A and B are shown apart, each in its own frame.
Chain A
Amino acid sequence: MPFSVNIGHQHYVFADLKTLLAKATPARSGDSLAGIAATSNEERVAAQYTLADLPLRHFLNDVVIPYEDDEVTRLIIDSHSAQAFQLVSHLTVGGFRDWLLSDVATTESLRGLAPGLTPEMVAAVSKLMRVQDLILVAKKCEVITRFRNTIGLANHFSTRLQPNHPSDDAAGIAASIVDGLLYASGDAVIGINPASDNTQTVTRLLHLLDDVITRFDIPTQSCVLTHVTTTLELINRGAPVDLVFQSIAGSQAANTSFGVNLAILAEAQSAAHALQRGTVGNNVMYFETGQGSALSANAHCGVDQQTLEVRAYAVARAFSPLLVNTVVGFIGPEYLYNGKQIIRAGLEDHFCGKLLGLPMGCDICYTNHAEADQDDMDMLLTQFAAAGGSFIMGIPGADDIMLNYQTTSFHDALYIRRLLNLPPAPEFFQWLQTSEIMDERGVLFSGAALPPRFARALVLPGAS
């Protein structure tokens, strides 16, 4: 069904819902690459005017990828809660934006609303929101998840310790883990991106992480970020798997290109549940997403990359994940060209994920061929934390020597903790205190000598 609007003397027509959403999207290189972006600034605002007048109800009867062709669309439609939706069913997209900002929309009402929202509704409203709107509304959402600690409590902030090494070298990885722990990082997860998908390598790394967590008695969880089918196989062989990782996208075709579907994800979730390795909860899934992944897999179906990103969150929410991480600047400048586009995308993703009820973290990152630098990362980090973001990455010196990109460092996390007074997950914070790494005010130990727990376990090369 086409949509049209008159702006001054100009008549604009948008052929269908996906075209309207694409044209209303704030500018980014990926939509231009796909050939679906607005062709002028005025056309973009014309689309936003049109979208603002669209009733939210419309999204229940008009889809961007056909129901018959796509299991993500079927999941969205079939799992929609009409009862939860009633709260906002009378609103247009523009009216929904005003409602979200109003004092009627509280932490409690937003929690109840989440099952009544579809990804397309949420993507649509985000396109009408400025950065300050995205921050203010997201800050009202609270999404709490648990495995060996509690992630997402208001005014807390978690980090994934990411000790990657280009040859999966055990000593190299362990050196980064020690560095991270002594910098108070790792409550979201200690998660390795392995250089090799080899099952023996992945098994070796799973045991390495399990040994460290057991030996130092750390209330956190481990993950080796390999394909879900590899993890499933290793669970069946008895490897110590805490979290199941998978990259997911917002169309069935893109997920197919990743070698996954909803049935495989459900099988893996159920296998990890059965291990009963969580102590305070059983959220066992860890998903990563990122705007542009469907386009790069040539599976975007004419839908803009931000709407597809939010559709990926519909996949995530079907599996009650512990962590969802939008890897916002990793994919390259053909999708998000510069710091401005990366920053907005990160805040959109966080807002949309939180509104849908997901524990959203952000890999605040860039590659060296993007028009971005550390200043841009500082801006996104500060805004993401102000918006109540759940977790970020932590890596030595912001330099991932395996994946060749820059993400947030252990130091960056300490900066944001100090600036906004954000302690880590309570169980992990307690561990940091008993380990004499941090005091009860969140002040890090001096670093001049190892804390006793580490001094007992480590033999430093130069110490003999």
Chain B
Amino acid sequence: MSDTKKDSWHDLQAYTSARIAQGRSGVSLPIAANLKFQLDHARARDAVHTAFNIHSFIDSYLAAFPSADAPLCVASSADSRGQYLQRPDLGRQLPEAQWQQLRQSLKSEGGSDIAVVVADGLSSAAVQRHALPLLALLLPAIANQGFSLAPLCLATQARVALGDDIGEAIKAKLLVMLIGERPGLSSPDSLGMYITYSPQRARTDAQRNCISNIRDGGHSYQQACDTGIYLIAAAMEKAQTGISLKDESMLLDSPTTTAIPFLKPSA
């Protein structure tokens, strides 16, 4: 790598996770930076295409919550990953038979206050890594608020709006969906939490609240749980979610630098 040119400003890397000052071979990316990019892209692709391992997730869940009901498992109307990626409409719908099955699984006629769904979305890696630790905080916190919980539901080939069908079928007043987000090159395992009051088909995204970027280097489980509980309590009180229900808790506001320490004051 003797012909590779290093960039004298590489110390600026301390200020951003952007891929600055990578150096050059001629005008091109040096091999080390090129391989790092390929590795990160491979991980992001794998996050999209690796199937959500439901069985191992159920084992871990029941080990963490020994007295919990066995989770309900559903799949959207998209029958393959290829179809899921090209037909988001199918990923938003439960097949009729599954809807009926969920409805028949109901133990009480009145349903429950809150249902939680864990869904693969666009990153199974996000769900495998972050869903259980988040549930470990979130489920007890919901119970502490005095709300009744439906059995956990696991969904595959799922878009956010699949939760509307699920919530309607199991008669939940409010639905919390934990779903793998579109993976970024530097964040293949980002989890999102979507909260929808009175879930039913034809709800729009403007009628949900979202906490995104739950991952290492993003929002912590505790931040996500605290904000989630704040939004859930407010939604149950006001009987709505969406743009009218702003996050006034300010928990997710991260401070930003407004000064540029490496720039000398201008003369």
Contacts and interface: CB of A to CB of B under 8 A. Distances in A.
A460 B184 CA distance: 29
Interface stretch (B13-21, B63-71, B95-103, B107-115): B13-21
Contacts of A165: 16, 18
A398 interface: yes
A171 B87 contact: no
B7 to A, nearest CB: 5
Interface stretch (A95-103, A301-309, A350-358, A409-417): A409-417
Interface stretch (B26-34, B128-136, B143-151, B221-229): B26-34
Given A368-B185, A399-B37, A333 B23 contact: no
A274 interface: no
Interface string B1-27: 000011111011111111111111011
Given A172-B16, A401-B184, A409-B29, A179 B264 contact: no
Given A179-B9, A369-B183, A460-B9, A397 B86 contact: no
Contact of B15 (A174, A369, A405, A457): A174
Contacts of A211: 266
Nearest to B265: A457
Nearest to A395: B18
A170 B7 contact: no
Nearest to B26: A418
B89 interface: yes
Contacts of B85: 333-334, 337, 369
Contacts of B8: 447-450, 460
Interface in A208-235: 208, 211, 215
Contact of A401 (B18, B26, B33): B18
Interface in B70-99: 85-89
B224 to A, nearest CB: 16
B257 interface: yes
A320 interface: no
Interface string A340-376: 0000000000000000000000000001110001100
Contacts of A461: 11-12, 14, 261-262
Contacts, number: 185
A404 B187 contact: yes
B7 A399 contact: no
Nearest to A457: B264
Interface in B177-203: 182-188
A254 to B, nearest CB: 16
Interface in A374-418: 374, 395-399, 401, 404-406, 409, 411, 414-415, 417-418
B12 A179 contact: yes
A178 B257 contact: no
Given A178-B9, A368-B45, A399-B185, A171 B86 contact: no
B183 to A, nearest CB: 5
Interface string A170-210: 11111110110010000000000000000001001000100
Nearest to B23: A447
Interface string A442-464: 00101111100010111111110
Contact of B22 (A332, A397, A463): A397
A102 B261 CA distance: 58
B258 interface: yes
Given A369-B85, A373-B41, A463-B11, A171 B260 contact: yes
A169 B24 contact: no
Q: Which has the most chain B C-beta neighbours within 10 Å: A172, A334, A449? A: A172
A288 interface: no
Contacts of A163: 18
Given A169-B256, A215-B266, A446-B5, A401 B17 contact: yes
Chain A interface size, under 10 / 10 to 19 / 20 to 34 / 35 or more? 35 or more
B250 interface: no
B183 A447 contact: no
A200 to B, nearest CB: 10
A417 B11 CA distance: 27
A174 B262 CA distance: 9
A447 B6 contact: yes
A406 B41 CA distance: 10
A33 interface: yes
A411 B264 CA distance: 28
Contact of A32 (B28, B37, B86): B86
Contact of B86 (A167, A204, A208, A337): A337
B44 interface: yes
A435 interface: no
Given A373-B41, A450-B8, A444 B256 contact: no
B56 interface: no
Contacts of A457: 263-264, 266
B176 interface: no
Given A29-B86, A460-B262, A447 B5 contact: yes
B254 interface: yes
Given A170-B258, A175-B15, A409-B29, A448 B86 contact: no
Given A448-B5, A460-B8, 18 more contacts: A33-B88, A166-B213, A175-B262, A176-B18, A179-B9, A179-B18, A182-B9, A334-B87, A368-B185, A374-B41, A396-B20, A397-B20, A404-B183, A444-B24, A444-B27, A459-B263, A460-B11, A460-B262
21 contacts: A33-B88, A165-B18, A169-B16, A169-B257, A175-B20, A182-B7, A368-B45, A368-B48, A369-B183, A396-B18, A397-B18, A397-B19, A397-B20, A404-B184, A405-B184, A414-B24, A418-B26, A447-B24, A448-B6, A448-B8, A460-B9
Q: Which 4 A-B pairs have the closest CB atoms?
A: A397-B19, A404-B184, A414-B27, A172-B16
Interface of A: 29, 32-33, 163-176, 178-179, 182, 201, 204, 208, 211, 215, 332-334, 337, 367-369, 373-374, 395-399, 401, 404-406, 409, 411, 414-415, 417-418, 444, 446-450, 454, 456-463
